[in-house]
Amino acid sequence: MIKIYNTLTKQKEEFKPVQKDNVCMYVCGPTVYNLIHIGNARPYIVFDTVRRYFESVGYAVNYVQNFTDVDDKIIKKANEEGKTTDEIVNYYIHETLKDANNLNVNPATHHPRVTEEMDNIIKMIEVLIEKGLAYEVGGTVYYNTAAFPEYGKLSKKVLEELEAGRSERIEITDDKKNHMDFVLWKPKKEGEPYWKSPWSDGRPGWHIECSAMAKKYLGSTIDIHAGGEDLVFPHHENEIAQSEGANGAAFANYWMHNSFLNIDNKKMSKSLGNFKTLRDVGETFGYDTVRFFMLSAHYRSPLNFSGELMEAAKNGLGRIKNAKASLEFALSHSSFDALTEEETNLLPELGKYEGRFHEAMQDDFNTADAISIIFELVKFGNTYAKEGASKNFVTEVYKLFTKLTDILGLLYTYLEDQNQGLTDAEIEDYIQKRTAAKKAKDFKEADSIREYLKDQGVIIEDTREGVRFKRV
């Protein structure tokens, strides 16, 4: 039984899908005007893992993650670089998908773009106007929050508290019937892209876009809507008002939100000089390390990023990689197949590890506990499934090890590895050969290895803690 913490009810609830054995999931995607930052990587990894787990236990998952490809920030970026908005969004969508692939994030079932969904967006706004839930003023269409009695139910605050506590996120204008009303459609400004509508040549507000795309690809009521906790208000609150108002049905049965990522215990911001793109972090520590790091904490817990913590994560992931290599070595060097008596008695332990792993994942996707259980399995494998063990026993350990690490998406070769040609293990092997050459005072060989690695895009550094490498 899978339990999910539902932001809407503030409690864990048993997961019951709308359609048996199917999961409909909508995850808010990025606004594509820059490379995604390290904070963006958390929902990508977390909800990809949620999807993987559902699929591992037999569900079919319809996973939708959009691209917001029309926005003030995109227009500003295009003007700054002297490019069209299409050039900006096409480039950054490509780079975002590249980063996601490097994180071992599976492609969504659908990756809709806002600019390709205008007809459905306009139709939904028309329905809201017909139902008295929206009104037009001078070409701008607003949602009438006073006409939706349940407005505020996700963030659990009354409208006055929202207005007082989040005023920086509420636009104050004289056109609105009340301050909490938000834009569904706005007229174009000079030089901006626009679409024709019954109200004005213009473009949609941010919130209506997701409501329209979720309905098109998933239906009126979906199972899970997910994103970062910064989206609870106003974005997800407004989506509920729009979707439930237009469709006359519950919008999402479960709302999942990941907590924030801080940098050295501070909120990430360009003004503090601690803004980090995923590309920079991935190239420094490895994208697989980023994924492991993100899953080492529960998704609803705040997570702190630092160089020291990333090094620790890299070492932890290294233990798991080494365990895989050891199991593969034992498999290839085993001289007999049949289980020994001791191994027969040990086999039931594997079932216990798998059972505890599922308990962790079914308790609101507790990946931190799941990883701890994988480490216990690593210790078990290193102790018993080593050279000299039977092939049948090592095979069973290896199968479970692979199954659990695959659910979390931990062990993989990412794009940078493929482009560089050398795996981490191969690089480490060359480093050991160089170290041996230096000890033997064969400095010519040591220099030759350094130059070869450099030619392969790998720089090695001699530090007090040992030899380190980075890809360039």
Domain boundaries, the chain: 15-258, 280-408, 421-471
CA separation (Å) from 275 to 184, 234, 269? 31, 24, 5
Please tell me the predicted confidence (pLDDT) of residue 431.
87
How many Cβ atoms sit within 10 Å of the Cβ of residue 266?
A: 10
Burial class (CB in 10 A: 0-12, 13-18, 19+), 457: middle
Q: Does the pLDDT of residue 172 top 80, yes or no?
A: no
Residue 156 is predicted with a pLDDT of 84
The distance in angstroms from the start CA to the end CA of the chain is 46
Mean pLDDT of the chain: 91
Looking at per-residue confidence, does 70 or 459 come out higher? 70
Cβ contacts of 189 within 8 Å, gap of 6 or more: none
pLDDT over 90 for what percent of the chain? 77
Q: How confident is the model at residue 162 (pLDDT cuts 50, 70, 90)?
A: low
The listed CATH number (3.40.50.2000, 3.40.50.620, 3.30.360.10, 3.40.50.300) that belongs to domain 15-258 = 3.40.50.620
Tens digits of residue pLDDT in 318-346: 999 999 999 999 998 888 999 999 999 99
Residue 419 has pLDDT above 80, yes or no: no
- Distance, CA of 294 to CA of 52 (rounded, Å): 15
Size of the chain in residues: 472
Determine the pLDDT at residue 271: 65
Dihedral Cα 345, 346, 349, 351, nearest 10 deg: -80
**Choice among 68-82, 233-247, 288-302, 450-464 with the minimum mean pLDDT:** 450-464
- The pLDDT of residue 227 is above 80: yes
Residue 9's pLDDT band (boundaries 50, 70, 90)? very high
Query: What pLDDT shows up at residue 377?
Result: 98
Contacts of 86 (CB under 8 A, 6+ apart): none
Query: What is the pLDDT at residue 204?
Result: 97
Beta bridge partners of 305: 263
Are 65 and 111 in contact, with CB atoms under 8 Å apart? yes
Count of helices and strands (H, E) across the chain = 16, 15
What's residue 415's pLDDT? 66
pLDDT of residue 417: 55
Please say if the pLDDT value at position 297 is more than 60: yes
Following DSSP, what letter does each residue of 328-382 receive, concatenated?
HHHHHH----SPPHHHHHHHHHHHHHHHHHHHHHHBT--HHHHHHHHHHHHHHHH
Which residue has 């037009």 as its token pair?
136
Q: Is the pLDDT assigned to residue 187 strictly greater than 80?
A: yes
> 199 pLDDT exceeds 70?
yes
Q: How confident is the model at residue 367 (pLDDT cuts 50, 70, 90)?
A: very high
| Residue 142, C-beta contacts closer than 8 angstroms, at least 6 positions apart | 134, 135, 136, 175, 176, 177, 181, 182, 183, 184
94 or 164: which leads in pLDDT: 94
* 163 pLDDT above the threshold of 70: no
Is it the case that residue 45 has pLDDT exceeding 80?
yes
Instruction: Return the structure tokens found at 16.
Output: 């019951």
pLDDT category, 274, cuts 50, 70, 90? Answer: confident
Query: Residue 67 carries which side chain, given as an amino acid letter?
Result: F
**Is a pLDDT exceeding 80 seen at residue 278?**
yes
How high is the pLDDT of residue 469?
78
Q: What is the pLDDT of residues 111-139, one digit of tens each?
A: 999 999 999 999 999 999 999 999 999 99
Q: Nearest-5° angle of CA 311, CA 312, CA 316?
A: 115
Q: Residue 450 has what pLDDT?
A: 84
* Overall average pLDDT of the 1-29 stretch: 97
- pLDDT at residue 160 above 80? no
Q: What is the mean pLDDT of residues 375-384?
A: 97
Q: Domain 280-408 falls in which CATH fold?
A: Isoleucyl-tRNA Synthetase; Domain 1 (1.10.730)
